[in-house]
Copies of this chain bind each other. A is one copy, B any other.
Amino acid sequence: MRELLAEAAFELFMERGFEGTTVDDIVARAGVGRRSFFRYFPSKEDAVFPDHERCLADMTEYLERATSGDPLDRVCEAARIVLRMYAANPVFSVRRYRLTREVPGLRTYELSVVRRYERTLAGYLRGRWGDAPDGSLRAEVIAAAVVAAHNNGLRSWLRSGAVGDAEVAVDHALALVREVWSRTPDRPVTVLDGADGDGREVVVMVAPRGAPLWRVVRQLESALAETPAAE
């Protein structure tokens, strides 16, 4: 019933436009009563995005179980749940993307949904970082960055008409955020302990000229035993 209504609604939006379609039109097309519509969807806008509620629930459930591991990895993985929802139905996703560009009310609706994802991710990070200095600030900034990166990759894919692999575009975008914020070294650069002329402990690093800065940083971070938040 829910899917039937969403399909009827979307067909009509494509035929007559979003503003030109009433809930009465939708229930007539679906062959059900008006009250059935509102049982499933609070508004006409909700029928355009029938999967976000489930997707938010899936994300919340995933994060509730994600009590260990790198928090940044976890939120990137959680963002991919949204991507997979779009990628599961490329034709519908592209059409909806185009419809949303044209209808201000749908763009506003979408902003609200995006904000809910962002708050979910930020809430998770806040929980993981607890009372760490600037934990709440970092949670909000990183959640916003993850969502912006995800949406940049998703939009590229949608704008292309869903050509190619959506995951590639989004993974590339998320990698930028992870690279900037991650604390986990993953590629060796020579880092040695030592002492300066006055016997103070120092860290000596040797890296090839042209080495990617952020790879070097990961190595250094653990060596310096210092985090950005602790500054």
A residues neighboring B (CB under 8 Å): 108, 111-112, 115, 134, 136-138, 140-141, 143-145, 147-149, 151-153, 172-173, 176-177, 179-181, 193-194, 196, 200-217, 220-221, 223-228, 230-231
- How would you classify the secondary structure of chain A's contact residues: helix, strand, loop or mixed? helix
Instruction: Looking at the assembled complex, report how far the CB atom of A32 sits from the nearest CB atom of chain B, in whole angstroms.
Output: 28
The answer to whether A148 and B144 touch across the interface, beta carbons within 8 angstroms, is yes
Instruction: Looking at the assembled complex, report how far the CB atom of A154 sits from the nearest CB atom of chain B, in whole angstroms.
Output: 12
Give the residue of B180, B202, B223 whose beta carbon is less than 8 angstroms from that of A181: B180
Report the nearest B residue to A153, measured CB to CB: B137
Q: Which residues from chain B contact A181 at a C-beta distance below 8 Å?
A: 180
C-alpha spacing A111/B226, complex, angstroms: 36
The answer to whether B214 and A209 touch across the interface, beta carbons within 8 angstroms, is no
The answer to whether A180 and B228 touch across the interface, beta carbons within 8 angstroms, is yes
Q: Which residues from chain B contact A193 at a C-beta distance below 8 Å?
A: 209
Q: Which residues from chain B contact A194 at a C-beta distance below 8 Å?
A: 206
